[in-house]
Amino acid sequence: MSETASGVLAASMWSWAALVSDPVRATRQAARARGEALVVDAAPPTPGGGPLLSRTQRGPRLLDAPTKNDGLVEEFDRLAEAYDFYVRPFSVPLFSEALDMLAPLLTRDARVLDAGCGPGRELRAVARRVPDGEVVGVDLAAGMVVGAHRAAWAAGLDNTAFVQSDVGDLPRDLDGAFDLVYNCLAHHHYPDPAAAAAGIRRCLRPGGHYAIIDPGPEWFVRLASALSLAGDPGWIGFHTPEQFRVLLEGAGFVDVRWYDLLPGFGIALARVPD
């Protein structure tokens, strides 16, 4: 990814946020203030899973051997500190809206997995909502995992843990562990979406949910794909809501739904059968 391409992508994201997304978010916040329930129609497993790794794991768990997809994240390791600067003006309002939408699933004791945590900004926001639970961040880029761990502990969030892993090959000690798995602007980097969906389903409890926060509407996918190909490191491809449905049902999920968030973006939400 060239500096010019990344700059164009960043400028495009910031402009979209300021001119399109932010006004729509203000409208949605006003609707909530009037008492409108703009949340997902879903209920979490009860009780929540509570802490799993954070009580014993005090540092990030890093891989001791290379993986077949390491080449896809080399640029993320190189840009680990700068990446947050590029995406923050765009991702923060998007994820804030997603958090409000996902509120019914974020109980105090929920055990949550961030599947592609990056620098961990979204993970920290979730951790504050689940004080009696836990958020585990997974990313294949070691630089992201180390930086996210450092930032979480600096913020006093000891209900967090971090694991370097390919989302398509998640550690077996995470099987059946989570009430909610989410990713934010990460799914389009997965080299094998089917393997990722199967692995994430394996890590969810019966009745648990998987939330994908990403572009979706076909018009926006067409608009954003060329820019992403040129300026987004590791970009693989976007899915439309229908493609998400086929993917997730193929992995064994049920109740697959698409919820609009901000223009061009939404949540593909699916559930593991009870």
From the candidate CATH numbers 2.160.10.10, 3.40.50.150, 3.30.230.70, 3.40.50.11540, the one assigned to the domain spanning 3-271: 3.40.50.150
Contacts of 85 (CB under 8 A, 6+ apart): none
The share of the chain scoring above pLDDT 90, in percent, equals: 70
Strand partners, 50: none
The pLDDT tens digits for 36-64 are 989 999 999 999 999 999 999 999 999 99
Tell me the three-class secondary structure of the chain, residue by residue: CCHHHHHHHHHHHHHHHHHHHHHHHHHHHHHHHCCCCCCCCCCCCCCCCCCCCCCCCCCCECCCCCCCCHHHCHHHHHCHHHHHHHHHHHHHHHHHHHHHHCHHHCCCCCEEEEECCCCCHHHHHHHHHCCCCEEEEEECCHHHHHHHHHHHHHCCCCCEEEEECCHHHCCHHHCCCEEEEEEECCHHHCCCHHHHHHHHHHHEEEEEEEEEEEECCHHHHHHHHHHHHHHCCCCCCCCCHHHHHHHHHHCCCEEEEEEECCCCEEEEEEECCC
Comparing C-alpha atoms, which of 111, 112, 126 is closest to residue 50?
Answer: 111
The domain locations on the chain are: 3-271
Higher-confidence residue of 179 and 87: namely: 179
Task: With beta carbons less than 8 A apart as the criterion, state whether 241 and 268 touch.
Answer: yes
Contacts of 216 (CB under 8 A, 6+ apart): 238, 239, 240, 241, 244, 258, 264, 265, 266, 268
The pLDDT tens digits for 135-182 are 999 999 898 999 999 999 999 999 999 999 999 999 999 999 999 999
Window from 43-47, 208-212, 249-253 with minimum mean pLDDT: 43-47
